Every structure is written in structure tokens, then in C-alpha cells.
Structure 1
Amino acid sequence: MLLSTLLSRYGITPALAEDPTIKAVTADSRHVSPDSLFVAIRGQHHDGAKFIPLAITAGATAIVTMHDNHSPPIGEHWEGERKAIIIRVHNPAHFLAQAAAWVAAPLPEHIIAVTGTNGKSSTVDFLRQLWQLRGKTAASLGTLGVITQADTPPMPAMTTPDAVALASMLSTLQRSHVTHVALEASSHGLHQHRLDGLPLAAAGFSNLTRDHLDYHETIEAYRDAKLRLFRDLLPPGNVAVINADMDPDTYNALTQTARQCGHILRDIGINATTLRLLEAQPTPQGHIIRVALHGEPLPDITLPFPGRFQVDNALMAAALCWEEDAEAPAVLALLSQLRSVPGRCERVADLSNGAAAYVDYAHTPDALEHVLLSLRPHTRGKLHVIFGAGGDRDSGKRPLMGQIAAHIADRITITDDNPRSEDPATIRAAILAACPHAQEIGDRWAAIEDGLKRLGPGDILLIAGKGHETGQVIGSTTHPFDDRALTRSLAEKVSL
């Protein structure tokens, strides 16, 4: 793509003495190649402007950097015998996302983003499954990686990749004939403008509870980052799906934003008007739910997985799936064919005495509360839980999670999650302060083994915090660790 074309799309129409072809866009000077454009972004730890000389030496023919009041919008920069065109903009991160998408184009024709504290991974996975059941070639992208029935090369698992990686992933999917993509939109990704270049067809917002305050500092800033998806990224006239049962402040902000931006608003949940949940009856295998579409009751639907919160995620996926309301009943009828999502209230082991073990990714107070309350109706005996908390993350969550466990579970074991650079004992102590009757076993392997051995007939054990993860981060090292595989292996020995 010619540099003039790229700049024109962004709204800049300079008179360029030279008009180089841009073959790649990057914000990492180590990835600069000849005929590339380097975007200097100022982050939390590094200022990309310091790497401009390296980028030019490596072959960058154009540089985008932060606008200032002392330099012209367009200029030149020489590094030895190499010259690059300098473009100064007010928001380099926004420019990077737009340019990365344009250079990587074409992208899949139907892209939907889902944000929220909890439920993103399940919702995008359910949406992908629904599309596939309707005959679409689809993919989901996020914490669980890239999942698709198409033949694609391996791609990394990230909740929201950086803008260049995201554009590259989507371009790869398009070349593999994927037409429909559901992706997770994290608050970090939205705040850092990583999704700004995507042509979104719809967006969903599952819920908002305390998380990532180590980054956003306040719940208001956290909410505002997520609202960007609807305020700045979703085009007018497109579908916005929200959970009507979320906190009033977020719900009101979302509905107001949807009205102001001209979105087609759909809501789901007990208090919804579009897709109202009338009843969710737990069964040994999952739920039987009754819903009303625009006030009209529909036939009962069987969901083949436990977890009351998964009912909301499935309904949100359905509301994002249909394009015209006439399609809604057919889409909702497909919910009974959904499969559970790895590491999300996943039943991983059954013991010979009728006890069962579940693994869930719950690592926030709200998520832990929801999964425990969801498992309680399925429990004929006692409800056990094993969990910890991540290091180098919002420490205020720890006592809240302890309080929730003490209030709902019958037996609690506090163990290590991903302590990272923090002292694991200090993290455990913060949780134990709110649930002093809990047992403390720092070694997660030993905690799971002990938990399985203590299960009586009809008991349920929840192992929370890591879900699908296959590693445990201690210090700066990630050690192989898989809650799901370990629980299955230990359960076989315990059942002997």
C-alpha cells in the first residue's frame, strides 16, 4: 500500500516528495524490515520514540510518532545515510491499529467483539459453535487461543493480542476462508486501542465486576475502557447486546451509549425485554431453560452443561448470532447442541462414590461467587473449593474472594495460583484473613490431591482460578501445570 493511500485513509493528505510502498506495519523495532512503517508508541514502561534510530537503520521508510507543538506534522529524519518520512499524529496507538488492519486486509467479513469482566471466553466460544451449526466457517479468538474448523497455522492464545498480531491473525483466518470471527475484547486491549482498526458487525457486554484495578485504578476507569467498544468502535446501526442483570451504573451507561450512537440494542437476562430468562432449572447434566423473545414464550431449551452463569453466556451468544429477529427461534433451538468450554465450569472427573470435580477459570470475586452458587444446586453432599489468587494483580480482590468462599462453600482450601513475583504465603494470608477456618496447602498439586481424597458421596469439588491454563507462573518462570489433566489423573488413583 502506498504511504499516501494509507495516510489518506487516516484523514491526512500531505504533499509527499516521495511516496514509498508500505509492506508492513509494526510498533516493535525488532520486527522492522525494509519498506515498513514503524509506529512509536509511548507505553507504561518504554517510549517507542527512543527506538526510531534503530527502526530507520533496519529499513523503515516511514515513522509515525506523537504530535507535538514544536514540529511540523510531516518531516524527515536521517539516520546515517538512511532517511525516513516522519508523520506526527495525536494518537499513534490508534493509527497503528488502523494501519495494521488496512495493510493486512482483507479481513473476515463478519467480526463480533465481546467484552466484560467474566464470560468473554465462553460467549465467543458458544458464538463460534452456533455459527458452525448454521453452516458458517467460523473462529473464536481469545484466552483459549484461536479455535476454528478451518485449516490454519498455529496462533498464540491471548485475550486481546496487540493490534499488529490481531490484524495478522484475522488476515490468516480470512485466507483460510473463515468468514465469521468472535473475539474477546479486554479492557487493556480497548484502552490501548488494539481493536481500533476492526470493522465490527456487533458487540456484546457480559458484566462488570471488580478486576484489573492494578491497571485502571478505579472501577469508573475500568468501565470507561470497556465502554469504548460501544462508544468508539461499533459503527452506528449495528447490534449491541448487553446483560440486563448487570450493575445499574454499567447498564445505564450502556443503554445511554447505545441510544447516542444509534446502535440496535438487544438485552438478555432475567430483567431483559429482548431475550428474557423466565426459568433456569438445574439438572444433573445441565439446565432446562425457559425464555421469552420480545415477550413471547418459546419452547423449553436443554443446555448440556452446568453453571447458571453459562446460561447468560449462551443467551448472549445467541443474541449476537442472529441478524434478523425472524432467525432468533432457529438460533435458540441450537443451544441444546452446544458443548461446554474448556476450563469453564468443566466437569473433569467423577469418583466411584458419586463425587465430582470441576475446574473453572474464576479468578475474580464475582466469578467465584457465580460458579459456587451455580454448583450448589447440583451438589447432593458438600461443596468443596480450592483456590488462590494471582500475584502482581489487584490485591484488593483477595479478601473478597475469601469472604465469598466462606459464605458459600462447605470446605475451603487456599493454595497458590500464579504467584509471579510476590511471596505466595503473603497472598494466601490475605485470603485466609477473610476465611480463617479454611485449610492452607500452598502446593497446588498437594491441595488438589488432598481435596479429592476428602470427597464424600455426592460431594462436588471446585478447583478455581486457572481453568484451561497449562502453566503456573512462579517468579519469572512458567512451570508446566494443568488443573484439568492433574485432577483427572489424581481422581483415577483416588477412585481405585
Structure 2
Amino acid sequence: MKRKIENLFRKYNVQGISCDSRNLKPGDAFFAIKGEKIDGNRFINEALKTAKIVFTGDSSWKGEKIFYIQDIRLAVAIAAEIIYPHLSVNLVAVTGTNGKTSVVSYIYQILKLLGQEAATIGTIGVNSTIKLEEKFLKELPQSLTTADPITFRKILNELAEKEVSNVIFEASSHGIAQRRLGEIKIKTAGFTSFSQDHLDYHKTMENYLEAKLQLFRENLEEGGEVVINSEILASSYGDGVKNFFAKHRIRYFGIGRNGNIKVKNINSSLTGSKVVFEYNKKEYTFTTNIIGSFQAVNLLIAAKMTANLGFDFDHIVEVLEKVTAVTGRLQRIGFVESEVQVFVDYAHTPDALEKSLWELRNIKAQQGGKLYVVFGCGGDRDPSKRELMGQVACKLADYVVVTDDNPRSENPQKIRLDVLKGAAGAEEIEGREFAIESTIAKLKKNDILLIAGKGHETYQIIGNRTVFFSDIEIAKQILLLKNK
């Protein structure tokens, strides 16, 4: 396929590529992608007015400058590789239902603390130890969990040209399944967690898991290692994952209570965690101000992945205590000395909500008080998880408030009612800001509140409008007024 595309690019002197007919420039090739909502084939005739040539996955199209390629999504990624050919020395990918953003950030911070150049691509955008042009950054989409293949290669190319030697990126199941990574090879990969999400797209958990595993089969370089949370291996999907690794001769390394790196003890409190683990018959201890035993495991996944790039493991452990939490991941709002504690977390799956509430419930047990939670579910996303999230919240929290998240095109009340099916006794409050404000007003000494679902996000999508909204900023303002 690559040779065919290269030959056509040379023949027609193609200088650029696009999947959006509105952004075509003279000299570009247009790739007609049939998506879930928009079919790019509808714009082929319009594209031909500007584009040098057109590629399509629909064989019914005929024309002198129209070329059929069966796997059109992979073709876009390969074309992007031709236009943007440069890559950094070390490429690292992290996949998983939850924890991708944290592990990517932790690897980046570890490398930076070790004096290395590094960059990240993911949910919270592009970060680099080497300054990138403002114009370049402004052109990028707001969220890049796994960017479209053209944007992805453009970023990789820019980072390589800036001589950033280590690039760590999030690999979402959508991005993997849609071949957005193309044929790039990664040095090492992380698999942080696996639980229900995105079934609106993948339909079944088996399909969802296959999308995750595809990353290791298609993009891990020969001899590369997968660093995996040992909870996955111990789950009902564990045997399938192990059989997959054996079949494809993929090396893997477990992190956790029963991992190759064996976590022996995690003592968590409001100020952070003390972690004891064993590796290569040697016991290690480190402290971190990052809250949550699951984040301690994520830190160790990041540590082993960094070691896989050739860095000394003992030196990596020495800098772990300096690694900080990612914005909106069990982030404390206010001060540890405050009478009430408020946390904002990105948890938007049943498993993530359960883990965050368990951590705060255990901390609450040390000091008394009640555990409150405010959360909602996104519209136009897997509706089957809504009732489950309601069940989790009511099982673990003392007081549950169900409100709005990003309703998108769905009726917000309908989404809340879906959650409430599993949340008997919960309070329903329309309007996220009012829900946060009224719940904080209820807090008494030693109470803990978790505001879950949006984390770092600074927007809310209502219908076709995107408005400014930040759980973090709203909670800060309300706590400021409460403490006056």
C-alpha cells in the first residue's frame, strides 16, 4: 500500500493531505473517510475542484484522479507518514480504560527529572521539555487522547525536528481500531486497566479488549515489552490476555499485588501515600503526595516503562517522590488542613468511580465524617454504564448527588434518570454548578466530597454549544466563600 501511495504522490506531485474537503489546498490529496456521522465520500466531487487526487474506500467511485484503497483508514496514516516522515528515537504508548493520562504524565516527569528531553500527546494536549511554536500549538485540537492520523504524525514530525528524543502518547481504543497510529513502532507499551467503557462504539467487551490488544500486535517493536497492571491478568479477561501474548510472542511484565514488581504495602492518607514494593528480590520504599493506591501502581508502571528505555531503575525510584499528580485526577481543592476536603476527579466509568470512592472512603474511615459524591454521565456515550455508576456511588458514598455532565445532544433529565435507576436514595439536582454549590454547603467537619466525571475539562457540551465550565474553578470559588 505504501509503495502505491508514494508512486501516486510522486506522479501527481502531492504536497499535502486532508480528510476535510474544506481544508484542502492546491497540491493536496483528499482521503474520503466514511465515519460514524459523516461520510467523506459525499464530498469527493467538491474535493476534486482543489485536490490533485482523491483516495476512497468505496469501490463504486470511478475517475481519472480517484483511487480505491480497501483499508482507507490505514492509507491515511501511511500517507501522513510520507508527508511527515520524521520520528523521535523513543516512542512510547499507553493504553487502558483508565490511567492513560496519569501514566503518560508520570513517564514524562520522570524523564524530565532524569535530565532527558521528552514530550507527551494526549487528553491534556501536547507538552514538551523543548518549547514549541505558539502558532503550531494553536492549530492543534483541544483534546488529543489519540489524534487523527494526520495531526498525530504532524506532531511527531515537529517533535522529532525539535530533537525531542522521547515521546509518550495515549492510545485510545478508538484510535487503535481506526488505525490512527499507522505503522509506527513503539519501544514499550503500558496497559493500565480494563473495564467497561465505549460499548456504544465497540458493542461488546470482547471487541473492546481486541482493540486494546491490537496496539501490541501491530505497533510494538520486536522484543518490546508490555508493562501491565496485574489486576488485568487476574481478572476474568486475564487468561485471554495471556494467551494473546503467548500466541504473538509478546513479552509482558506485571505490576501490582501479584506482579513481577510486587506491591507489598500502600499506606494512603490525605497527604499522600507510602509505597513498599519488591523487585528483583530487593525491597524499595518511596513516598508520594499523589493520593490513591491505584495511582501508586500507575507510578510503578511508569517507572518500569522508563527503565525499558534504558534508564537505571534505582535512579528512577529516587525521583518518584518528586512526581506530581495530573490536573483533575483526585486533585484536592483547597488545603489539607481544611475542615472539609473536596476532590475533583476525571472518573467517568464505573471502575474509575469505584476506585476513587474506595480511596476516599478508606481515608474517611481514619478521621470520621461522611463521604459525598457529585457526578453525572455524558450524553451520546455508552448508556449501559449509567445505572452501574449509580450503583457504585450508592454502595460507597454516604450521600449521592446525580447531576449533569456533558449532555451533548441527549436530554439531560433522561440521562439523570438512567443513572438514578441504579442510585436508589440519591438526590437529583439539575445543573452541575448548582449541584456542586449546594453539596459543598452541606459539608460539615471531616466530610469529604468527590466531584467526578470531568476532571481537567474546562468546558461543558450542551446540545451543539460548548460553554466554559470547570469543576476545579467552581469548587475553588465556592470553598473560598464557604471559608470566609
Give the TM-score normalised by structure 1. Answer: 0.90
Distance (whole Å) between structure 2 residues aligned to residue 279 and residue 304 of structure 1? 16
Select between 29-38 and 88-97 the one with higher mean Cα deviation.
29-38
2:443 corresponding residue in structure 1 = 455
Q: Deviations over 1:23-74 (max 9, x none)?
A: 212222222222222222222233333323222210x333322274x89xxx
1:54 corresponding residue in structure 2 = 46
Task: Write the letter of the residue equivalent to 2:474.
Answer: L
Task: Write the letter of the residue equivalent to 1:36.
Answer: D
Task: Write the letter of the residue equivalent to 1:134.
Answer: L
Q: Deviations over 1:368-396 (max 9, x none)?
A: 00000111222222111111111111111
Distance (whole Å) between structure 1 residues aligned to residue 252 and residue 7 of structure 2? 43
1:45 to 37, 48, 55: 37
Task: Write the letter of the residue equivalent to 2:394.
Answer: A
1:410 corresponding residue in structure 2 = 398
Distance (whole Å) between structure 2 residues aligned to residue 133 and residue 13 of structure 1? 42
Q: What is the aligned-residue identity percentage?
A: 36
1:33 to 14, 25, 33: 25
Distance (whole Å) between structure 2 residues aligned to residue 309 and residue 17 of structure 1? 48
2:295 to 284, 306, 310: 310
Task: Write the letter of the residue equivalent to 2:211.
Answer: A
The answer as to whether partners of 2:370 and 2:398 remain within 8 angstroms in 1 is yes
Distance (whole Å) between structure 1 residues aligned to residue 178 and residue 53 of structure 2? 22
1:81 corresponding residue in structure 2 = none
Distance (whole Å) between structure 1 residues aligned to residue 39 and residue 251 of structure 2? 40
Task: Write the letter of the residue equivalent to 1:35.
Answer: G
1:24 corresponding residue in structure 2 = 16
1:442 matched to 2:430? The reply is: yes
Distance (whole Å) between structure 2 residues aligned to residue 17 and residue 93 of structure 1? 17
CA 1:17–1:408: 2 relative to 1, 3 Å:
closer
- Partner of 2:406, secondary structure, is coil
1:250 matched to 2:248? The reply is: no
Distance (whole Å) between structure 1 residues aligned to residue 82 and residue 197 of structure 2? 33
Distance (whole Å) between structure 2 residues aligned to residue 15 and residue 36 of structure 1? 15
Ranges in structure 2 where 5+ consecutive residues have no aligned partner: none
Distance (whole Å) between structure 1 residues aligned to residue 199 and residue 419 of structure 2? 17
CA 1:40–1:289: 2 relative to 1, 3 Å:
same
Counting only pairs closer than 5 Å after superposition, residues 57-456 of structure 1 correspond to structure 2 as 57-58=49-50, 60-66=51-57, 68=59, 77-78=63-64, 84=65, 86-152=66-132, 153=134, 154=137, 155-156=140-141, 157-246=143-232, 248-273=235-260, 275-294=261-280, 296-323=281-308, 327-350=312-335, 354-379=339-364, 380=367, 381-456=369-444
- How many aligned residue pairs are there? 474
CA 1:16–1:300: 2 relative to 1, 3 Å:
closer
Select between 431-440 and 362-371 the one with higher mean Cα deviation.
431-440
Distance (whole Å) between structure 1 residues aligned to residue 417 and residue 48 of structure 2? 51
Structure 1 residue 352: Cα displacement:
7.2
CA 1:418–1:14: 2 relative to 1, 3 Å:
closer
Structure 1 residue 470: Cα displacement:
0.6
Ranges in structure 1 where 5+ consecutive residues have no aligned partner: 1-6, 79-83
Distance (whole Å) between structure 2 residues aligned to residue 328 and residue 315 of structure 1? 10
Task: Write the letter of the residue equivalent to 2:329.
Answer: R
The answer as to whether partners of 1:364 and 1:397 remain within 8 angstroms in 2 is yes
The answer as to whether partners of 2:6 and 2:82 remain within 8 angstroms in 1 is no
2:464 corresponding residue in structure 1 = 476
CA 1:334–1:351: 2 relative to 1, 3 Å:
closer
Distance (whole Å) between structure 2 residues aligned to residue 185 and residue 408 of structure 1? 31
Task: Write the letter of the residue equivalent to 2:442.
Answer: R
Distance (whole Å) between structure 2 residues aligned to residue 345 and residue 18 of structure 1? 51
The answer as to whether partners of 2:345 and 2:455 remain within 8 angstroms in 1 is yes
Distance (whole Å) between structure 2 residues aligned to residue 67 and residue 192 of structure 1? 17
Structure 1 residue 195: Cα displacement:
0.9
Distance (whole Å) between structure 2 residues aligned to residue 325 and residue 142 of structure 1? 23
Distance (whole Å) between structure 2 residues aligned to residue 344 and residue 299 of structure 1? 25
Q: CA RMSD in A?
A: 2.2
- Partner of 2:87, secondary structure, is coil
Distance (whole Å) between structure 1 residues aligned to residue 479 and residue 438 of structure 2? 11
Distance (whole Å) between structure 1 residues aligned to residue 416 and residue 123 of structure 2? 25
- Partner of 1:412, secondary structure, is strand
Structure 1 residue 326: Cα displacement:
7.5
